[in-house]
Amino acid sequence: MSSEFIIGLAGQAVYIVLQVSAPMMVLALVVGLIISIFQATTQIQEQTLAFVPKIVIVLVSLLLFGPWILTTLVDFTHGILDNLYKYIG
């Protein structure tokens, strides 16, 4: 295995992590923005008001996007193991 292969693999891993985490992060960002606008207009400065809805929306998005996330990670792992098998065998 060459250093270019390892660097490419690391780049793919970072891209997969960003791709898999993007739906949850975007939904948490949108909910946080909505909550902060609500807090600014009503002048309610309660920390749990911003924290709990974000946790709930991340869990819901994990349930919705879970099969896609699992498929993406399994495909990436299969690709790594396939390349390793070709290199060894």
Domain residue limits, the chain:
3-88
Lookup: tokens for 31:
């909910």
Residue with tokens 């975007």: 26
Q: How far apart are CA 62 and CA 31, in angstroms?
A: 15
**pLDDT digit string (tens) for the chain, length 89 residues:** 678 888 998 999 999 999 999 999 999 999 999 999 998 899 888 878 888 999 999 999 999 999 999 999 999 999 999 988 887 86
Among 17, 23, 24, which residue's Cα sits nearest to residue 77?
17
Amino acid identity, position 53: P
DSSP structure class, residue 43: T
Residue 54 and residue 22: Cα distance in Å, rounded? 14
